[in-house]
């Protein structure tokens, strides 16, 4: 006669057989999680004035609300790919989404600004786990290379669309609810992602080396550098000293560690160096401009959060389609052409935005933001492909982590610098911020001419 344990095992086996892994549902789970974590990089910008009016904190506090997430995300992204391998992608993804969802609830319930910033750090840590695990899930779900390539393209496009729609969604949620709504909306979406994960294949655990000393040194460097830029004053000088010391320690660790989180040898390859530089310039310009103009529409021109969010709709609506166009252009003409066109277009957009002041009609500002967004959307897909092709296949994951981390770090530091500049006089600081972005693009545009042309790409 079967025991209760035998019957239970039989039922579990039956349930598992009924819930066979589904590639489509696995892709849906990975896409939803990736969209959630990328959305949170930009959705908060339009809600910043509302957060400031309720929790206080001034300009520096609002910068920390954005950068606490971005920098935690960027710093830990260097190691979370190895963590996903060691834990198994499906398990790591489940842990990341669970922590991200709980941290989102903590953000929405935060009674003070420090509590909100602390919860944003936890969100960023969880997001750093979700990103590599979600991509690994997509790769595992599809055996056929062609179907896998299409699935990865869908996954990547979903993240781009989420980033683009962030300001619009932030304005709509803040107007319909309040700023807490931008975090509470993650709760049902996180639950759906976890429910879909049931149909994902179970991922094996693989041994993967971790560079914990290098990871800690990188995190200390980024945190202290950001503190120095945002806070300034006497403590700022102390933070600068800590940042320099931590950066030196990081370099020494990476040169000696057998499995560094950032192998400096990668940068001996011109293509890798250019790709990282161009990606960083795109992040500084895009994330910094969204941050500054979210405040400009509301604090300088006195518009509502919903109105400010809608002003980003023209640029947001075109980013996804432009990403796809960029991929087709790169396939036909090589990666260099869309990168050069994209950077040139973004540079022109930034120069036009220099003429914006308090009296500029908001609709005109919205139109002037379009070239910048389209330029970045044209540039990023081919530079990613170019970098992946420039490194051996066994180092592709590591190279992708370095590129994404560099882009996140650049975006976070851009927001820190631009926030400090506009705090001293908004329009003058905004113009200086745009000029810095334009100068970066001018340099990377010129350097991009050194890349191999169509015949070699």
Residue 12 has pLDDT above 70, yes or no: no
- CA within 13 Å, CB half, 416: 24
- pLDDT, tens digit, for every residue of 192-217? 999 888 877 676 666 667 778 888 88
Say which CATH number the domain at 25 has. Answer: 1.20.1250.20
Residue 351 has pLDDT above 90, yes or no: yes
Give the separation between CA 341 and CA 206, rounded to whole angstroms. Answer: 41
Which of these ranges, 14-28, 135-149, 293-307, has the smallest mean pLDDT?
14-28
Per-residue pLDDT, 113: 93
Give the domain-ending residue among 239, 258, 277: 258
Residue 54 has pLDDT above 80, yes or no: yes
- Within a domain: residue 176? yes
The single residue listed with the structure tokens 């991200």 is 100
pLDDT-above-70 percentage for the chain: 89
Residue 219 shares a structural domain with residue 156: no
Residue 286 shares a structural domain with residue 384: yes
Across the chain, mean pLDDT equals 83
Residue 315 shares a structural domain with residue 383: yes
Residue 218 shares a structural domain with residue 337: no
Residue 180 has pLDDT above 70, yes or no: yes
- Within a domain: residue 457? no
Say how many domains are in the chain: 3
pTM, two decimals, is 0.81
Give the separation between CA 60 and CA 162, rounded to whole angstroms. Answer: 26
Range of the domain at 225: 211-258
Give the separation between CA 240 and CA 228, rounded to whole angstroms. Answer: 6
Per-residue pLDDT, 208: 64
Per-residue pLDDT, 10: 47
Residue 127 shares a structural domain with residue 164: yes
Question: Which one is predicted more confidently, 395 or 386?
Answer: 386
- Within a domain: residue 454? no
Provide the 10 A C-beta neighbour count for residue 111: 9
Question: Which one is predicted more confidently, 138 or 453?
Answer: 138
Residue 66 CB contacts under 8 Å (≥ 6 apart), including other chains: 44, 45, 48, 291, 412, 415
- Within a domain: residue 8? no
């Amino acid at each position: 006669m079967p025991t209760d344990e035998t019957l239970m095992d039989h039922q579990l086996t039956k349930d598992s057989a009924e819930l066979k892994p589904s590639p489509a549902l696995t892709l849906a789970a990975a896409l939803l999680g990736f969209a959630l974590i990328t959305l949170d990089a930009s959705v908060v910008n339009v809600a910043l004035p509302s957060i400031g009016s309720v929790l206080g904190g001034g300009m520096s506090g609002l910068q920390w609300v954005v950068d606490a997430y971005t920098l935690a995300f960027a710093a830990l992204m260097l190691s979370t790919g190895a963590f996903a391998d060691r834990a198994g992608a499906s398990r790591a993804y489940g842990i990341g989404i669970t922590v991200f969802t709980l941290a989102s609830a903590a953000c929405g319930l935060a009674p003070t600004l420090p509590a909100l910033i602390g919860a944003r750090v936890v969100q960023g840590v969880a997001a750093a786990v979700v990103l590599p695990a979600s991509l690994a899930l997509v790769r595992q779900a599809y055996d056929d290379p062609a179907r896998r390539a299409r699935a990865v393209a869908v996954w990547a496009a979903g993240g781009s669309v989420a980033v683009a729609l962030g300001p619009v969604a932030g304005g709509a949620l803040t107007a319909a609810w309040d700023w807490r709504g931008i975090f509470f909306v993650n709760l049902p979406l996180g639950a759906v992602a976890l429910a879909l994960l049931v149909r994902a294949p179970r991922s094996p655990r693989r041994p993967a080396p971790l560079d914990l000393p290098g990871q800690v040194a990188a995190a200390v460097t980024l945190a202290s550098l950001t503190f120095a830029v945002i806070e300034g004053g006497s403590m700022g000088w102390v933070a600068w000293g800590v940042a320099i010391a931590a950066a030196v320690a990081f370099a020494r660790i990476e040169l000696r560690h057998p499995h560094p989180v950032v192998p400096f040898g990668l940068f001996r390859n011109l293509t890798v160096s250019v790709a990282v530089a161009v990606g960083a310039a795109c992040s500084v310009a895009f994330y910094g401009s969204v941050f500054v103009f979210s405040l400009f529409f509301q604090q300088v021109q006195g518009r509502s959060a919903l109105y400010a969010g809608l002003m980003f709709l023209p640029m947001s609506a075109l980013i996804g389609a432009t990403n796809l166009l960029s991929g087709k252009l790169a396939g036909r003409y090589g990666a260099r052409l869309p990168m050069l066109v994209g950077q040139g277009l973004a540079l022109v957009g930034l120069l036009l935005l220099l003429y914006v002041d308090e009296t500029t009609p908001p609709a005109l500002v919205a139109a002037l933001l379009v070239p910048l967004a389209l330029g970045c959307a044209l540039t990023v897909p081919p530079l990613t492909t170019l970098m992946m092709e420039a490194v051996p296949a066994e180092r592709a994951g590591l190279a992708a982590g370095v590129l994404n981390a560099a882009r996140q770090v650049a975006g976070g530091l851009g927001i820190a610098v631009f926030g400090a500049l506009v705090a001293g006089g908004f329009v003058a600081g905004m113009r200086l911020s745009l000029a810095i972005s334009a100068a970066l693009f001018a340099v990377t545009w010129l350097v991009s001419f050194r890349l191999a042309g169509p015949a070699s790409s």
